[in-house]
Amino acid sequence: MSWNDRRDATGAFVQADRRRIQTAVLGGTDSDEPLMLPMEAIELDAFRRVHADDTFWCGTLLGGCGGQLTTKLYTDRACHFAHHPDPDGLPHVCGRRSRGVDSADHLYVRSAAAAWLAGRGEQATFEYTRTEGAPLGSVVDVRWRHGALRVHLDQAVAPVWDDGVEPVLGTMVPVDRDTLIRRWYVHRIRLNSVGTARHVQIGTEAFARPIEWFALDECEMTERGLSTPAVEEIVQARTAPRPSLWSPGKARKVPEPEARAQALLRRLVYARRIESVPMVKQVCGDIEDLTGVDEELQEQLEAAVRHARVWLVEQDEERRKLFCNLNRAVEEQKPGRVRRLLLRVNATAAEDRTDAESAVYERASRYFESLDDLTRDAVEAEADTEKEARKAAGRARNALQRLRGYDAYTFDLRSQVEELVRSATLAGELLTRGEARRVEVWKKRAARGLQAQLHVARQYWIQRSCPRCNAEQGKDCVLIEGPNSGKPRKGGHNERLQLVLDERKAAQKMARQQKKSRQEVAAPAEPTQPAPEASEREASPRRPLQERRPESDRGRAHETRTKAAARLHHQVPRGDWYRMGCPRCHAGPDTLCENDDRVGPSAKRQLPHDERLRRVLQSGDRSGLGEQQKGARDERQHHTAPPAGVKARPPQPRRAEREPQETASSAARTWHAKDVTCPKCQARPNSPCTPRGPHQERVEWAKEFTRKLWG
């Protein structure tokens, strides 16, 4: 017998446990207030200052001996609690089985649950249930007036699902797929170290859904029991009525054996889809026992059973490989792989294990439980890293899917490409070779720098062929580089869009030149008058300086006259606009002019061409008619005598002709954004832009129409 072994109260020898003690209770040996010691020396100094007046104990609720503990500070290894030495100088012997950071989790669960229920007006009682062979703290029973929970922190005690107490499972407690399907969901619990305490989180696990974790304050107690935000989504999805696809007037009667056969076939398909081996075996047995169906349906049932038997053989082989890999991982002492395989065994092979499979599972469980705290923390950190890598791989695949239709790194794609590169770096080897090649292509494009993406409506650039990918007129552009080369591209290449922009610039330049030439032709030439004689200049009175017209006013008046002369549609009555044919577009009388200079959105012009209006102004019949009307009006005024008793009013000076004004009754008007088609989203006139509008391109296009209309 070594000095490290002593007898306990029963007289049996107890071997000393060399593992470091990380948890204790405050105040006394029967205390239920847990405490965790920090492992770093710099944190232990602050811990000692905070608890300078407290005492630490190896409490009985921790399975300890009840002795007092002291803190040990180390700089070369983890700090920990230690027992006071015996008076006789022998090492202290304690039968405490669990000493790591999770050894007081049942006390932390009790404290968190008591505070949570007290905040909801409930007072709870707690019991640390101990079954034969199970250590203290494996199961915590929480009971209150309106409900009860049983928390399984490890797998020492198998959960019972139908005894009225809802189980809450630890992260390493297995649950089979059939239970998840039958119960819709199960709750899990985990505790995270925060300083010198452990915080409780509740997770909800459902079939084909990842575990979603929530803080305890986010959970509630309902009629269904413990509820989290994930439970509400699951229940709503399972209880929502499915939309009816058809409404038959009268259901066709099907013989009972045939209806049962069809139901069994559907159930077999569902069982294979969810990979439930027990359900597949049960359905196959029900199909073999079914009788009374016709020959054709019987052949279908037999074929389905044959395929199911082959699938069961494949599942047995996969199960054999799973346990072989688990046994090999234990022999090679790979804790990370052991943890992953244990989780897989708990999910797929939790029931109906053979003796050999049970032996492999027990061996792996003992190996994992025997690991020290540092190794477990490293394994958990590795598992978290792998989980983040899987999430990053999913984000990278989604980004690649969104970028599938592009072959240029533009400003619009900058955020997506940056997210792709970050996610691919975290994913590492989880991406396939094809996905890695596509990521490298985008990295090279990003290295070449950002490109400006031109914006032209598809209805315009689709009418031209692409000089880059050689897409014909009416065909979409295709990708010219990368793994997806040859497939349709989202949007046209910049080279194809540039053709449209160049044509627009040329048309605008030509329109400005034509407008300038028309203004030069329409501007009246100023008559030249001979210079007056000097005597006349001297005889004429000089105007005072304040009455002289400034040169700037004269220039502005000349510009106004030129502008008014250019707007010929104000000088011709509306009824005479289309009296004569157009010499420019050859439109006949009473016919609108062709919109050859793109003034307005329609094929016809809102106003006639200036050449047509000038022709009307210069026509002799119109000027003769005007002179005749003017002469008749003057003659009537001259021969009409004023009535008796009324004094003849002196002739009034003729009012100066006012400059034509642009009124609402004129055909010329201001174009607003809603009146034109949006060149960005193709919204029709009087329709809003999507998703948010109006777009700036639509506003500028309306302004351009207005400028062209008013000249």
Most confident residue range from 248-257, 340-349, 616-625: 340-349
CB 198 within 8 A of CB 192: yes
Q: At a CB cut-off of 8 Å and minimum separation 6, what does 518 contact?
A: 566, 610
The pair of structure tokens assigned to 65 is 């001996």
The total of other beta-carbon atoms located within 10 Å of residue 35's CB is 24
Tokens 């533009």 sit on residue: 410
pLDDT tens for 190-216 read 988 877 788 899 999 888 778 889 988
- Asked if residues 677 and 685 have their Cβ atoms less than 8 Å apart, the reply is yes
pLDDT at 535 over 60: no
Tell me the pLDDT tens digit for each residue of 485-528: 788 888 888 888 888 888 888 889 888 888 888 888 876 544 44
Give the three-class secondary structure for 146.
coil
Place of tokens 């292509």: 441
Q: How does DSSP assign 171-205, residue by residue?
A: TTS---HHHHHHHS-EEEEEEEEETTEEEEEEEEE
Specify the residue for token string 């001996």: 65
Task: Tell me the angle at which helices 295-331 and 256-273 cross, rounded to the nearest 10 degrees.
Answer: 20
Q: Return the number of other C-beta atoms located less than 10 Å from residue 607's C-beta.
A: 22
Rounded to whole angstroms, how far apart are CA atoms 522 and 528? 18
Q: How far is CA 339 from the centre of its chain?
A: 33
Whether the ω angle into residue 691 lies within 30 degrees of 0, i.e. cis, is yes
User: For the ranges 9-18, 116-125, 223-232, 274-283, which has the lowest average pLDDT?
Assistant: 9-18
Residue 107 · residue 142 · CB < 8 Å? no
Q: How far is CA 77 from the centre of its chain?
A: 46
**Tokens found for residue 695:** 């777009």
User: Is pLDDT at 248 greater than 70 in this prediction?
Assistant: no
Residue linked to tokens 């400006």: 452
DSSP-derived secondary structure for 8-44 = -TTS-EEEPP-SPB-EEEESSTT---EEE--SSHHHH
Q: What's residue 189's pLDDT?
A: 92
Q: Which of 270-279, 415-424, 531-540, 550-559 has the lowest mean pLDDT?
A: 531-540
Is it the case that residue 355 has pLDDT exceeding 80? yes
DSSP-assigned beta bridge partners for residue 148: 143
Residue 16's pLDDT is 40
The percentage of the chain sitting over the pLDDT mark of 90, rounded to a whole number, equals 3
Output the pLDDT for position 429: 83
**Pair 72, 42: CB distance under 8 Å:** no
Read off the pLDDT of residues 306-326 as tens digits, 9 standing for 90 and up.
898 898 888 888 888 888 998
Asked if residue 421 has pLDDT above 70, the reply is yes
Q: String of b and e for 317-351 (b: at least 16 CB within 10 Å)?
A: eebeebbebbbebbeeeebbbbbbbbeebbebbbe
pLDDT at site 653: 55
Percent of the chain at pLDDT exceeding 70: 79
pLDDT tier, 232 (very low <50, low <70, confident <90, very high otherwise): confident
* pLDDT tens digits, 56-95: 888 888 888 888 888 888 877 778 888 887 766 666 778 7
What's the pLDDT band for 10 if we cut at 50, 70, 90?
very low
Token couple for 387:
């989980």
How does pLDDT run across 433-484, given as a tens digit for each residue? 888 888 998 888 888 888 788 888 888 888 888 988 888 888 888 887 777 7
As a 3-state breakdown, the chain gives helix, strand, coil percent values, each rounded to 5, of 45, 10, 45
Judged against a pLDDT cut of 60, whether residue 45 lies above it is answered with yes
* pLDDT greater at residue 277 or residue 482: 277
Choose between 261 and 671: higher pLDDT. 261
Q: What is the CA radius of gyration of the chain?
A: 46
Identify the CA nearest to 206 among candidates 183, 229, 172: 183
Residue 539's pLDDT band, with cuts at 50, 70 and 90, is very low
